[in-house]
Structure 1
């Protein structure tokens, strides 16, 4: 799952989409990798910021 770390306006939408995916029984037990994209931009959230969001 890729999260745009610099797009704070859509972070809530991204979080909700991720929660929807995780609640699907068909995806239960499947490993998930979450990537923070655009982390190099000055306005991007840090890894901890993404985790807390």
Structure 2
């Protein structure tokens, strides 16, 4: 197996692909405050990653 797969190329940084897990169901009716906060943080993180 190639050991260089996770190393940055010379002279620059490597852009990683953006991936999302879309197979998780979210029920607003069953969500508590912590669930809603986690959802908001996840959406903000996704938006930051898509801007790069």
TM range, smaller chain: 0.3 to 0.5
The normalised TM-score by structure 2 is 0.37
More helix by share: 1
The normalised TM-score by structure 1 is 0.37
Q: Could you say which structure has the larger radius of gyration?
A: 2
With CA pairs under 8 Å and 6+ residues apart, which has the higher RCO, 1 or 2?
1
More strand by share: 1
